[in-house]
Structure 1
Amino acid sequence: MDAHRRPFMDRTLPLLTEGYAWLPDRMRDSADSVVRTRLLGRPALAVRGPDAVRFFYDEAHVHRHGAIPAPVLDTLFGQGAVHTLDGDAHRARKELFLPLLDPDRVTGLTEHVTAAWDEAVHDWSERPRVVLFDEAGVVLTRGVCRWAGLPREAVDAEQLARDLIAMVDGFATPGPRHLRARRARSRQETRMARLIGDVRSKAVAAPEGSVLERISRHRDTPTGPLDARTAAVELLNVLRPTAAVSWFVAFSAHALHRWPAHRERLRAGDGAYATAFAHEVRRFYPFAPFLGGRTVTELTWHGESVPPGGILLLDVYGQNHDEELWGDPYAFRPERFLHRPPDPDELIPQGGGDPATGHRCPGERITVGLLEALAVRLARLEYTVPEQDLRIPLRRIPTRPRSGFAVTGVRAP
């Protein structure tokens, strides 16, 4: 019997119970960083390493169309999102997002978010207890909405923040979190589609060149603009990943609490160290466990095969904690990124490949820029960390400190 046709047990249920350890545990038994299994009833091949990243992002090997499970589309990305497209269609849609990576745009978003943070700190100082994960979500949402040109009267920032966080929090799990994510997406797609319609009818003015204006007029083809629902999906695909930086803010607070020596260099305003700290937070702490695509043809990697229509998985969490790449992967050391920038095929917390032409998250530069700025502000903030459950459960996807990282006695710098 062909190697790729030998029967394997489906491993979907173990994934749900083992979380981030599911794939690395199986990789540990492989000499070549490759695992053959079954997932969602389909044959799957999991790979790891810089060469595997390039293999995974080769469009001759993998397509995203039809690869993302419906529960993930209905919560995290949205039906018809850029993440579901391939080839020319993907590149055409991605043109909508690439200008947002311009350094001036990233700087502008960072300024809006840090202004929202500074406003919030004064409110936190008057409250007995603040949960940083929750409050960071509101700050990030307020900042990105102002930057994107959304009218303040059209957005309830706190409700939108709760919904954006729910979309991320419930995409990879059955049960109540998933149901909340579905309801949140449906609610916000309806609201954003209405806003897109109001912009197109000129009932609402969108600032020229703003994200809202760009998405409202974007055309994938000569026949006309995106339908209002798809435009709403893509608007949320700007807002949602920005709000998701709240996970990294909570992780940054966790790192500064566990290893307070990093606080002084951040407080001093060392820009290179802030960048290195941001990269190390993204490498060290778990976010995406793996990425997947649908195989276009029969693929073979290190002697293991998967047939057309199977699944190719890229082990993100395992690669970011691979001893061969990082030497001491479970030590939190920002210094590892001070002497050389991260290799984009080694550090892959938001995927690999070229963000301009491939499927690497185009918002990665934004995430790093926001985290640099907010880590410095967090290091300069005075507060007390009361007793709480700061464990980060690896069975929960996406995970975070169980308490959300609560602080008391906040004092503005």
Structure 2
Amino acid sequence: MSAYRPLTASTLIDYLSSLAPMQTRLGGNSADWTAREVSDGNLNTVFIVSGPAGSVCCKQSLPYVRVDPAWAMPLERTLFEARWMQALSPAVGHQIPELYHLDEGLFLIVMENLSTHHVLRNALIAGVAPAGFAARIGEFVGHASYATSWRALAFEDVYALRDLFSRNLALTRITVDLVLTDPYRTDCPRNRWISPELDDLVESLQTDSVLHAAVERMQERFLSSSQALLHGDLHTGSVMISGDDVRVIDGEFALYGPIGFDLGMFLANLAMNAYAQPEHDDWMRDEIALLWSSFRRAYLERWEAGAQRGDMASLTRPASCAAERTRFFQQILHDCAGFAGLELIRRTIGFAQIADYEAGSNRENEIEARRRALLTGRTLIQKAFQIDTIEALLDQI
């Protein structure tokens, strides 16, 4: 374990050259290696290091938010990402990058370089993402959420995992603030929107006591339901694609929570892409339907196989629990709808917005897309517990 210091391209190469597995993976002499910074997210520095034999991706925490150095941030976030990868790898395999090395002192992870892949958000904006990609995301959530659930694991094992990820306080605080709270405050300087065109709608969202009560119900679900280990920030910018190979990355927000949170976040990003690019409407509708059906099928396959049986499922068998399956998936769909609504609103007027909106042909279309997202978000939050089918959810969207 090394003493912490922010790494540069040259010091990173020096560090990697001291690791025998990296010498083998990169090949040649370290003088032949190159390091290129590709930092794109809000929080960390990311480098691609290449050698004669191969390449790796290196991600290091900074003691502040990368895009806002005045915003101090604990360093532990890369450790949680590494633990998330370790916890899920047996269940999801190649659907996440392979973890090669973790240095807990440097808060550095070295992992598979997805050099042939593209960020899904960029591919969607360009209209070149392969149809059916959402099926892979549904499968990922299904396999990951079952494998880390009370149905699959003894409660002692769930407690151990939950205890580990419950320490991810700084990034969970970001979610509680930026997703679940800030957009509904009239005095939050982190909020921003197109003014004056959206002023009336934003004011109505921020002064609507009925909406705020519904938001509180979703806050309760997020903070009190520990169904499974979540990605915690699953959107189209945290997915890499190359043909049929779809990988989920950036698990640093990982925590135990309601399964519908991950599904709702991803679903909302598909909806916003369609709002910004109306020619994608039918495509995104199909992808949302695939996301849900693939999640349900993947989760059910593991549940019915019963290869792992936790304490919660110790009495029931598939033939006798049809009603329980219906109740369970309806609960997840309720959560999915509500969290999708929160994501639609926070990505439209909150701190961390999305590039999809800028893909519109002009300001008028962008305003219409944002207005549509805000109105739909309000509806989904308020009607979340009345939405019992994916068709009903699609109708609302």
User: Higher helix fraction: Structure 1 or Structure 2?
Assistant: 2
TM normalised by structure 2 equals: 0.26
Structure with the greater relative contact order (CA < 8 A, sep ≥ 6): 1 or 2?
1
